[in-house]
């Protein structure tokens, strides 16, 4: 298992990956563009640890030790001693390519790379680095501490040694692995996002209300969250980005993003993180916005 791991991005996914790794004794170097973003990520980590303490899942000593293992920085030089660095930035290929361009000059030769991308080609991302054989897709699910699954994806050039190292890393975090081929959306989002998109079309076409659609899917199919609730939790901008990859790379009209989803993203109604999406989160009980 990697002893020192870099995490790029202190947001929803990045701070979760940092947290579960630090709890397992991994030394973490977490980078973001600003001190404010890093502090926000650390505060989320503290809140998560407090919840786990209250539930008896971790001791205070283990929580304190995990926090001490997390070093933060805004300079890529912090990754010079890392055995592996995982990128957990926004779901935008150009952003990710730019990150890897800035990152690789600071890495030791043996360091491995990963992307937490939920849809973008691992082969393409790996090819933008100086070490495609040492690059793997390592897709954690949100929220990282609670969801057991990690999708592992080999790029065309990924060495078997690299893949096995990431398999050991995921197992060391007590995660269950699903191995996916390097196709757009991999397994989870290849299936999930068309369902969410169809739920949004169902709303757009007036087949049902927000409440009716989510209730139908929760009770009718035993989903813990309705598809519109889930879309808000994921982030409507992320949903749109993944559908854009599926539609663009597979060239199939069934992946065309619903115009209503596009409109919500254009309005800045991105879901839970902005306080408004298919639901309004300004009250104690979320209310449908449509």
Residue carrying structure tokens 């973003």: 37
pLDDT over threshold 90, residue 1: no
Choosing from 87, 91, 151, 229, the catalytic residue is 151
Query: Is residue 30 one of the residues assigned to a domain?
Result: yes
CATH number at residue 233: 1.10.1040.10
| Arithmetic mean of pLDDT, 66-82 | 97
- Specify if 290 maps to a domain: no
Express each pLDDT in 191-213 by its tens digit. Answer: 999 999 999 999 999 999 999 99
Q: Which domain holds residue 64?
A: 4-180
| Cross-strand bridge partners of residue 114 | 86, 136
* Domain final position from 145, 180, 215: 180
SS3 at position 29: strand
189 is catalytic: yes
Same domain for 109 and 52, yes or no, is yes
Judgement on whether residues 101 and 223 belong to the same structural domain of the protein: no
Confidence of residue 179 (pLDDT cuts 50, 70, 90): very high
CATH of the domain at 31: 3.40.50.720
118, 119, 180, 197: which is the annotated catalytic residue?
Answer: 118
Residue 285 lies in a domain: no
Q: Average pLDDT, stretch 244-262? A: 97
Do 201 and 125 share a domain, yes or no? no
Task: Check pLDDT > 80 for residue 76.
Answer: yes
Judge if 33 and 140 occupy the same domain: yes
How many structural domains are present in the chain? 2
115, 189, 197, 229: the catalytic one is 189
Given 3-state DSSP classes, what are the helix, strand and coil percentages for the chain, each rounded to the nearest 5? 50, 15, 35
Domain limit, last residue, from 154, 180, 206: 180
C-alpha torsion 149→154→155→157, nearest 10: 150
Q: Is 151 an active-site residue?
A: yes
pLDDT tens, residue by residue, 88-128: 999 999 999 999 999 999 999 999 999 999 999 999 999 99
**Is 50 one of the annotated active-site residues of the chain?**
no
235 in the same domain as 121: no
271 in the Ramachandran plot: left (φ > 0), alpha (ψ -120 to 50) or beta? Answer: left
Looking at 116, 139, 180, 229, which residue is catalytic? Answer: 139
Same domain, residue pair 176 and 40: yes
Q: What is the enclosing helix (H) or strand (E) of 46?
A: helix 35-54
Whether residue 174 sits in one domain with residue 87 = yes
pTM above the 0.85 mark?
Answer: yes
Average pLDDT, integer, range 146-174: 98
DSSP 140-202: E-SSTTT--EEEEEE-TT--HHHHHHHHHHHHHTT-EEEEE-S-TTTTHHHHHHHHHHHHHHH
**What average pLDDT does the chain have?**
97
Last residue of a domain, one of 180, 201, 227: 180
């Amino acid at each position: 298992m990697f002893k020192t791991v870099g995490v790029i991005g202190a947001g929803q996914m990045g701070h979760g990956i940092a947290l579960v790794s630090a709890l397992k004794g991994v030394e973490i170097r977490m980078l973001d563009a600003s001190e404010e973003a890093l502090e926000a990520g650390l505060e989320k980590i503290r809140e998560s640890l407090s919840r786990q303490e209250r539930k008896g899942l971790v001791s205070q000593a283990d929580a304190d030790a995990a926090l001490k293992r997390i070093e933060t920085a805004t300079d890529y030089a912090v990754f010079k001693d890392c055995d592996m660095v995982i990128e957990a930035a926004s779901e935008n290929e150009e952003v990710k390519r730019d990150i890897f361009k800035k990152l690789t000059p600071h890495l030791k030769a043996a360091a491995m790379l990963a992307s937490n991308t939920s849809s973008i080609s691992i082969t393409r991302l790996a090819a933008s680095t100086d070490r495609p054989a040492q690059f793997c897709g390592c897709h954690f699910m949100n929220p990282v501490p609670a969801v057991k699954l990690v999708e592992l994806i080999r790029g065309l050039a990924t060495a078997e040694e690299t893949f096995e190292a990431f398999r050991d890393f995921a197992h060391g975090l007590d995660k269950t692995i699903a191995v996916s081929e390097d196709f757009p959306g991999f397994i989870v989002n290849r299936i999930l996002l068309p369902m969410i998109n169809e739920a949004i079309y169902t709303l757009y076409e007036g087949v049902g209300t927000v409440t009716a659609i989510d209730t139908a899917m929760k009770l009718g199919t035993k989903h813990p969250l309705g598809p519109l609730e889930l879309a808000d939790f994921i982030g409507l901008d992320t949903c749109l980005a993944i559908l854009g990859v599926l539609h663009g790379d597979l060239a199939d009209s069934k992946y065309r993003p619903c115009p209503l989803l596009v409109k919500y993203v254009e309005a800045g109604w991105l879901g839970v993180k902005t306080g408004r999406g298919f639901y309004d989160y300004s009250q104690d009980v979320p209310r449908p916005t449509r």
